Structure 1
Amino acid sequence: MTPDEVAEWLTARGEWSSSRSSGPGGQRRDHAETRVHLTIRPETLAGLPEPLATRLTRRLGLDERPLRLRAGTERRREDNRRLVEVRLRARVAAAMEPPAPPRRPTRPTAGSARRRVEAKRRRSAVKRTRRTPAGDD
Structure 2
Amino acid sequence: MDEVVLAIDPGTDKCGFAAASQRGVIRHWIAPPEKLIENLQEAIEAYGVRTVILGDGTGSKKFQKEIRAAFPDLRIAVVDEYRTTDSARERYWRENPPKGWRRLLPVGMQVPPEPYDDLVAVILAERYFANR
Question: By the TM > 0.5 criterion, same fold?
Answer: no
TM-score normalised over the length of structure 1: 0.28
TM-score normalised over the length of structure 2: 0.29
In proportion to residue count, which structure has more strand? 2
User: Which structure has the greater CA radius of gyration?
Assistant: 1
In proportion to residue count, which structure has more helix? 1
